[in-house]
Amino acid sequence: MSGPLSFQVHATAGPARTGILHTPHGAVRTPAFMPVGTYGTVKGMTPVELRELGADMLLANAYHLWVRPGHREIEALGGLHGFMGWDGPILTDSGGYQVFSLRDVSKVTEEGVRFRAPLDGQYRKLTPEVCVEVQEALGVDLAMAFDECIEYPADRDRVARSTARTTRWLRRCLAHRRHPERTALLGIVQGGFHEDLRGAHAQELSELDLDAYAIGGLSVGEPTEQLLAMVGFTAPRLPPHKVRYLMGVGYPLDIVEAVSRGVDLFDCVLPTRSGRFGQVFTSQGRMNIKHNRLRDDRRPVDPACACYTCRSFSRAYLRHLFLSNEILAPRLLTLHNLTFYQSLMARLRAAIAQGPQELRAVRDQAERWMARHED
């Protein structure tokens, strides 16, 4: 399939690879972390700040933008890029995860999903055709196919039925595309935690020669060991010349482990959500800015970080802002956390180019980060 994406691998270190993903709105250095802008904004951050801290591509949520303000309204205002003032690549989630999270107020049928939207209480029907229509109207670079994400644990028969439905929905997505030259479509590999089902699904989707591929059905409550085992099983079964995206992951160590298993793209709300709750990632471990021990601490959040927050403000001042409920506090902590994540991705890209030993060193460092809490 010829589409709007091209992907070149520049270096490898075992299964890990670094390269460039070319999209209609620019290049993405991989492996890459996409800050999450669910409603068309990364909370508290401007597009200029996101560029300056190193983000190449953002993620928005097609379901939420469909509900409010509406995809046709955004299309009339210049598409999502113009609407949110971001001129780089954008990937949108299809709404499959919202179907999962709203499973208590939704009904899944072969046609699609009928649910009651929490925002306004109205009933809506999300189908593969609607999913494609919305994302193409938004004008995004990468669109996710509509899939069924199910709970963990689930019995094998339920996983098998759901995986087969995901394939049928994918084929309907493909048939409904109107602008394949500008919006890529990613198929999502399901199969739960059953290697035979996941392997067969990866093979079936690979034969469709899609624009790119995502590894789905993970990060739904399973132990990290199972998540990484499925990533390591699935990634090498996807086409080596297509970009691979692991949805909703995660902690720095999880990202490093997944990169080591051959994944290229990531997203997660963790760095932004943590910043809003006073949690920060540093080269010395995780820190709670609210801790009383920081009330007279003149040091920056992370002496090893060169972000605006760390260059300009002390831990004591940031603690004061946070405890005073000043809006600047979550903004500054979010900026730092996103810088930390983008620095990690840059470190991974450099390590892969240098070889397996350097990649192991980054992994060891990430393990130390996650084990330590700096007070």
* pLDDT per position as a tens digit, 38-92: 999 999 999 999 999 999 999 999 999 999 999 999 999 999 999 999 999 999 9
Query: What whole-number distance in Å separates Cα of residue 135 and Cα of residue 173?
Result: 11
Percentage of residues in the chain having pLDDT higher than 90: 90
The pLDDT value given to residue 372: 82
pLDDT at 293 over 70: yes
pLDDT (tens digit, 9 = 90+) per residue, 173-218? 999 999 999 999 999 999 999 999 999 999 999 999 999 999 999 9
Residue span of the structural domain in which 284 resides: 274-371
Residue type at 93 in one-letter notation: D
Q: Does 84 map to a domain?
A: yes
Q: Does 233 map to a domain?
A: yes
Looking at the structure, tell me whether residues 307 and 177 fall in a common domain.
no
346 vs 97, more confident:
346
The pLDDT value given to residue 121: 85
Q: Does 341 map to a domain?
A: yes
Largest CA distance in the chain: 62
State the average pLDDT for the chain. 95
Burial of 183 (0-12, 13-18, 19+ CB in 10 A): buried
Ranked by mean pLDDT, which of 82-86, 93-97, 103-107 comes out on top?
A: 82-86
| Cβ-Cβ contacts under 8 Å for 235 (sequence gap 6 or more) | 15, 215, 244, 261, 262, 263
- The answer to whether residue 267 is catalytic is yes
Q: Does 310 map to a domain?
A: yes
Percentage of residues in the chain having pLDDT higher than 70: 98
β-bridge mates for residue 279, sequence order: 288
Annotated active-site residue in 93, 254, 264, 302: 93
User: DSSP assignment, residue 153?
Assistant: S
The pLDDT value given to residue 199: 98
Q: Are 179 and 133 in contact (CB under 8 A)?
A: no
Q: Does 1 map to a domain?
A: no
Of 266, 293, 326, which marks where a domain is finished?
Answer: 266
The pLDDT value given to residue 374: 56
Q: How many structural domains are present in the chain?
A: 2
Looking at the structure, tell me whether residues 199 and 308 fall in a common domain.
no
pLDDT at 375 over 60: no
> From the CB of residue 142, how many other CB atoms can be counted at a distance below 10 Å?
28
| Cβ-Cβ contacts under 8 Å for 113 (sequence gap 6 or more) | 99, 106, 107, 125, 126, 127
The pLDDT value given to residue 96: 76
Looking at the structure, tell me whether residues 319 and 212 fall in a common domain.
no
State how far the alpha carbon of 55 is from the alpha carbons of 47, 198, 339, in Å: 9, 31, 9
The pLDDT value given to residue 256: 98
User: DSSP assignment, residue 133?
Assistant: H
| Cβ-Cβ contacts under 8 Å for 20 (sequence gap 6 or more) | 7, 8, 10, 27, 28, 29, 30
Mean pLDDT of 80-108: 88
Annotated active-site residue in 56, 141, 254, 267: 267
- The answer to whether residue 375 is catalytic is no
Tell whether the torsion through CA atoms of 272, 278, 281 and 286 is positive or negative. negative
Q: How confident is the model at residue 373 (pLDDT cuts 50, 70, 90)?
A: low
The CATH number assigned to the domain holding 138 equals 3.20.20.105
Mean pLDDT of 275-285: 96
Please work out, in degrees rounded to the nearest 5, the angle formed at the alpha carbon of residue 178 by the alpha carbons of 177 and 184: 60
| Residue 153, CB-side half-sphere exposure with 13 Å CA sphere | 6
Looking at the structure, tell me whether residues 174 and 225 fall in a common domain.
yes
The pLDDT value given to residue 2: 63
Looking at the structure, tell me whether residues 281 and 165 fall in a common domain.
no
Looking at the structure, tell me whether residues 184 and 324 fall in a common domain.
no
